[in-house]
A and B are shown apart, each in its own frame.
Chain A
Amino acid sequence: MWKIANPANFSKLAGRLIAPLSVLTILCFAVGLYLSFFKAPADYQQGETVRIMYIHVPAAWLASFIYFSLTLSALGTLVWRHPLADAAQKAAAPLGAGFTLICLVTGSLWGKPMWGTYWVWDARLTSVLILFILYLGLIALWQTVEDQNKAARLAAIFTLVGAINLPIIKFSVDWWNTLHQPASVFRMGGPTIDSSMLQALFVMALAFTLLFITLDLLAIRNEIMRRRVRRLLMLAASAGETAAPHAAAPQFAGEVHA
């Protein structure tokens, strides 16, 4: 964990990993999409529309997983002062928002033929919507606070406070009567989905995860470079000041003394 704490080391490592990871992601998506849309059977009740599940469910898993990784990064910032944790936090927030949006939109499109409504205010949908708003709040926080180090610590505190939402999302279908169906995969007693569908689901989940890891590495590397550019700009600005302090304000001096 600490060897890659050096941003230069991380950038090198990320640069080497991104190409193979991208290839792996594309392959995984290809296999997953083939399994989802051609090989896996149609549902006896829902027909072909069940195939939205192969996008909706992995996106939902990723939405929660990304917030969980944000929580770990937040701990890295506050507790261990890990240098990369700040960049990891800033990079993952928009990605998390994106996956949550995919989850909400695909779920909504699935709900119309299945439940007859695009949206319902049950516990699962409401808590995922809250997750989406938490992501948006984090993005807004990063945009508003200028000092990036301070932004990282404030975002970390907010992330940790919002982490209470994760178990609520997971167990919302158990604790309340929801229109959203109860857990079918990660539950006591094992999954209740047939293995022919489960296979496609897990491959798509792997594809989504690889996509997130690839994008995350890219984003962290971008953030490192962004910080470097910002630092160079500030150094150049202060070098300009010290190089020509008197030339900086000739008119005012002239006006005052004239």
Chain B
Amino acid sequence: MSALAALLWRELRVAGRIGGGGAVGLVFFLILVTIVPFALGPDLNLLARIGPAIIWIAALLATLLGLDRLFQADEDDGSLDLLTLSATPLELIVFVKCLAHWLTTAVPLILATPLFALMLAQDGIGLASLPLTLLAGTPALTFIGAIGAAITVSLRRGGLLMAVLVMPLTIPVLIFGVSAANAALGGTISFATPFAILCALSLAAMAGAPFAAAAALRQK
């Protein structure tokens, strides 16, 4: 148990030091959220309607870019080999790394979402429900992304391939996330249904992805 706790603590400290980690993801999130109104024009009604979708797309892309950090640095300096050979099960190690990645990349996004939602003309309920849906859905994005990151870890320029591999698997998360966010703003379906499915996707990803990612890490 303490080995995993030590790993978690190490991941959090490393993320705080090198390459920006969560901060860069946050800035990218901000850039995406500001670019879209520039492209669409200041029509507030339009922005209010598609605001949840923009936030979710930005969260997905920011997570995708940050996945590079998950295994690549450890692969480059050899720590990944040590982790693979250790007595602790590789699946648990992957779980802890993903958890640390989620804490340092996705949680800043979730905390910043109300501010960005304001920029996209969201109000009241939307300001509360959007971060909630992100909270439920970003674990799925991180853990499914870990599978892609593990598959492409040993490739020199595997970043684009990882995005191609991860994208089709994360589309359902995106669909249900935006559906839940829109349902909270009023509409024909209740918020609970897509939100429950979103939570289910996250839990399933947290349970299953470490096995696939660990199997891929062992192949390298």
Which of A's residues lie within 8 Å of B, judged by CB? 78, 126, 130, 133-134, 136-137, 140-141, 144-145, 150, 153-154, 157-158, 160-162, 165, 168
Are A158 and B171 in contact, CB atoms less than 8 angstroms apart?
Answer: no
Chain A positions within 8 Å of B154 at CB level = 150
Contact of A133 among B168, B212, B216 (CB under 8 A): B168
Complex contact B161–A140 (CB within 8 A): yes
Count, chain B residues at interface, CB 8 A? 20
In the bound complex, residues from chain B placing their C-beta under 8 Å from that of A126 are 171, 175
A78: chain B residues within 8 A (beta carbon): 215
Knowing A157-B219, A161-B212 are in contact, say whether A134-B158 is a contact too (CB < 8 A).
no
Assess whether A157 is in contact with B212, with CB atoms less than 8 Å apart: yes
Query: From residue B101, how far is it (CB to closest CB) to chain A in Å?
Result: 18
CB pair A130–B212 under 8 Å, yes or no, is no
Contacts of A130 in B (CB 8 A): 168, 171
B147 within 8 Å of A (CB atoms): yes
Complex contact B168–A134 (CB within 8 A): yes
A197 to chain B, nearest CB (A): 33
**Smallest CB gap from B212: residue in A:** A161
CB-CB nearest in chain B for A132 = B168
A133 and B164 contact, Cβ closer than 8 Å, known pairs A144-B155, A162-B169:
yes
Is residue B23 contacting chain A, with contact meaning CB distance below 8 A? no
| 10 additional contacts (CB under 8 A) given A137-B168, A158-B147 | A126-B171, A136-B164, A137-B161, A137-B165, A140-B165, A144-B152, A157-B151, A158-B151, A160-B212, A161-B147
CB distance from A71 to the nearest CB of B (A): 14
Asked if B54 is at the interface of the complex by the 8 Å CB criterion, the answer is: no
Contact B168 A141 (CB under 8 A): no
Contact with A along B141-178 (1 / 0, CB 8 A): 00000010001101100100100110111011001000
A198 CB to nearest chain B CB (Å): 33
Q: Which of B168, B175, B215 contacts A162 (CB 8 A)?
A: B168
- Chain A, residue nearest B164 (CB): A137
Known: A157-B215, A161-B147, A161-B212. Contact between A140 and B164, CB under 8 A? Answer: yes
